Amino acid sequence: MTKQTFRIAMISPVAWRTPPRAYGAWETVASNITEELVQRGWDVTLFATKDSLTRAKLRAVVERGYEEDPDVDPKVCEYLHLSEAFERADEFDLIHSHYDFMSLAYSRLTKTPMVTTIHGFSSPKVLPVYRKYNEHVNYVSISNADRAPELDYIATVYNGIDTESYTFYTEPGEHLVFLGRIHPDKGTHLACETARKSGRRLIIAGIIQDKEYFQEKVKPHIDDVNIQFIGAVGIEGKNKLFKQAYAVLHLNELPERFGLVLVEANAAGVPVIAMDRGSCREVIKDSETGFLVNNVDEAVKALDHIQDLDRYSCRKRVEKYFSIKSMVDGYEEVYSRILNKALAD
Amino acid sequence: MTKQTFRIAMISPVAWRTPPRAYGAWETVASNITEELVQRGWDVTLFATKDSLTRAKLRAVVERGYEEDPDVDPKVCEYLHLSEAFERADEFDLIHSHYDFMSLAYSRLTKTPMVTTIHGFSSPKVLPVYRKYNEHVNYVSISNADRAPELDYIATVYNGIDTESYTFYTEPGEHLVFLGRIHPDKGTHLACETARKSGRRLIIAGIIQDKEYFQEKVKPHIDDVNIQFIGAVGIEGKNKLFKQAYAVLHLNELPERFGLVLVEANAAGVPVIAMDRGSCREVIKDSETGFLVNNVDEAVKALDHIQDLDRYSCRKRVEKYFSIKSMVDGYEEVYSRILNKALAD
């Protein structure tokens, strides 16, 4: 069997288009993997919304993302989408699902082996389904930190970004940058505190996910002189932001599952000061592509050493470990292990 | 193949215990069918919550009804429950599902034929799933009125009640009775109006489902003299209520899917004045077990003719068409048609 004859079914979520127009992290990853696999000569069928854009074969029964379509019932979309994929399971040698625990429920009703990327556990309440299929489905974690101790994983495959989209800046900017959802988990208020204590200007960018938090803990700091809020930004806005960045502050209060922003900043050559929680230690190499800290005071101190870091190292690390290429290398390795196991059985 | 060797999988919902402790219409029907089938010698396996009570074989993975368990995620229960049933589908000659559109999604992943009782369409948005499986799954409607024109049905099987639970009263009581959810759909306010215009006392029983409606349209009428509200009642309360009943008023504003209350009243010998909407015409035989009307004035007039009706006819009609026995006769007929078709194929 060659990669041209090895038929892969890629199941993307149908909350948004694949790739999404704006928000939609899981659909983004599914799209990046799919397009790179096609580029490398794999036979891929993408199960996604009908308006999805892909060079793979598209199989779709849901018109558009249910988050973008008030006329549909999300659960109905989910059931139509997943049943379509599994009713065609025999047409494939491997199913790669990004559809959370729901796709697991069909996995024993087909002989086709399945790999599921666990993009996150929405709640510990979903673990029983993952436990049930632990022996049967191959789980991929998106960081070692995000693994559930009770589950077995075939591999960790880090999410990869399209490095070409991020301009590399050889010289640092002047400002501190916070980029991400405005939410207590993300520590926007700690970025403000760090800015104040260090005397540096902070630019905050991102969607306001927690309005009360924004009003109470962030907005009082915004004076458009020392602390500025510019709202959500797309890829152009990010590049512009990274150009101005002395360092990105990512003082998350909760463990990160992966931490895409850290990778994006590094791709631009910008070092990151991140809390030493969750996957940050895997994404940021301490004292090389940023600094891992435990509190605001450590973050302030770390700022004095930003210039000691080599911006090229930041970029190189992303290309090596967090690019679409490295991600798909990881999944190709997973696929061959599953394929070899299937052939041996 | 005999009924002893014909293996039926009965899939009950897991919102509540089967049978439910109080509310839970779909679980009640699933339980009634299951227990009567076992009584008749069928080999039935009930898929329901672990705390369910049955003389069939019980297969359960969900501890208790998700409506009764704040610690679980209903969707997780649903996926664990349905996948369990369909992973065992090969052990059965027939699957009889009461689990709405969600169980349809698994039906093509097994060779075992399936019948689904459509207890109701929660919204037109769920119809696409029913359409998808129209050729594949045998649909049963609970009244002819509740059929979706675009779907094919193998039969209508009316829900059946345990007639033994309802005392038959040879003599009428004095009062009007409204029994059901307090909700504009059920026309509680029209029952009040009928009572006022006819000068008869009305007793209202049922859960308050629409609080605003109750406050604005029902409560102002309650004076404990002419109109009384007694809250929700169980089977004892219903029997007591029917003893006092001159007639039951069921002036529903929306088409009924089936209309259990009409059957219960008739079982006690109580005639029903019902709006001529939805299934009421199938359940009530006009001018024999009650009167079908189009508005309050017709309801008031009909009250004058209640004494012309034969209370024994009311009871007899329930025993013939709306008892557990008649319901299971109906399903046995459906099963043999499916079985014969399977044997012929």
Summary mean pLDDT of chain A = 95
Q: What is the pLDDT of residues A7-52, one digit of tens each?
A: 999 999 999 999 998 888 899 999 999 999 999 999 999 999 999 9
H or E element in which residue B291 lies:
strand B290-293
Share of chain B above pLDDT 90, in %: 91
pLDDT score for A59? 98
What average pLDDT score do residues B161-173 get?
96
Nearest to B125 among A72, A108, A132 (CB): A72
pTM reported for the whole predicted model? 0.91
b/e burial code for range A274-285 (CB count within 10 A of at least 16 → b): bbebbbbbbbbb
What average pLDDT score do residues B335-344 get?
87
CB contacts of A106 in chain B (<8 Å) are: 83, 106, 109
What average pLDDT score do residues A164-175 get?
96
Length of chain B counted residue by residue = 345
**For residue A153, what are the contacts with CB-CB under 8 A and spacing of at least 6?**
A139, A140, A141, A147
Q: Is A76 close to B126, i.e. CB distance below 8 A?
A: yes
ipTM, two decimals: 0.90
Q: What is the pLDDT of residues B85-124, one digit of tens each?
A: 999 999 999 999 999 999 999 999 999 999 999 999 989 9
CB contacts of B104 in chain A (<8 Å) are: 79, 83
Would the pLDDT of A1 be above 70? no
| Listed residue (A144, A142, A118) closest to A131, CA to CA | A118
Q: Is B80 close to A110, i.e. CB distance below 8 A?
A: no
Would the pLDDT of B345 be above 90? no
pLDDT score for A82? 98
Take residue A298 and report the two structure tokens written for it: 């450590």
Best residue of B78, B121, B122, B129 to probe chain A, by most A CBs closer than 10 Å: B129
pLDDT score for A114? 97
Q: What is the pLDDT of residues B302-317, one digit of tens each?
A: 999 999 999 999 999 9
Distance CA B270, CA B173 (A): 9
Summary mean pLDDT of chain B = 95
Q: Are the C-beta atoms of B283 and B143 separated by less than 8 Å?
A: yes
Nearest to A73 among B72, B73, B125 (CB): B125
Q: What is the pLDDT of residues A184-240, one digit of tens each?
A: 999 999 999 999 999 999 999 998 999 999 999 999 999 999 999 999 898 899 999
Distance CA B24, CA B32 (A): 12
Residue A344: which pLDDT band, with cuts at 50, 70 and 90?
Answer: confident
Would the pLDDT of B22 be above 90? no
pLDDT score for B1? 61
Distance CA A94, CA A107 (A): 11
pLDDT score for A65? 97
Q: Is A132 close to B102, i.e. CB distance below 8 A?
A: no
Q: What is the pLDDT of residues A104-144, one digit of tens each?
A: 999 999 999 999 999 999 899 999 999 999 999 999 999 99
pLDDT score for B341? 84
Q: Are the C-beta atoms of B69 and B88 separated by less than 8 Å?
A: no
- Contact B66/A at CB under 8 A: no
- Contact B91/A at CB under 8 A: no
Q: Are the C-beta atoms of A96 and A125 separated by less than 8 Å?
A: no
Distance CA B271, CA B284 (A): 9
Tell me how close the Cα of A126 comes to any Cα of chain B, in angstroms.
6
Q: What is the pLDDT of residues A237-262, one digit of tens each?
A: 999 999 999 999 999 999 989 989 99
Q: What is the pLDDT of residues B210-248, one digit of tens each?
A: 999 999 999 999 999 999 999 989 889 999 999 999 999
Would the pLDDT of A4 be above 80? no
pLDDT score for B340? 87
Residue A2: which pLDDT band, with cuts at 50, 70 and 90?
Answer: confident
Q: Are the C-beta atoms of B185 and B253 separated by less than 8 Å?
A: yes
Q: Is B109 close to A105, i.e. CB distance below 8 A?
A: no
Q: Are the C-beta atoms of A260 and A166 separated by less than 8 Å?
A: no
- Contact B53/A at CB under 8 A: no
What average pLDDT score do residues B169-184 get?
95
Would the pLDDT of B2 be above 80? no
Share of chain B above pLDDT 70, in %: 100
How many separate helices (H) and strands (E) can be counted in chain A? 11, 13
CB contacts of A14 in chain B (<8 Å) are: none
Q: Are the C-beta atoms of A264 and A304 separated by less than 8 Å?
A: no
Tell me how close the Cα of A124 comes to any Cα of chain B, in angstroms.
10
Distance CA B318, CA B29 (A): 16
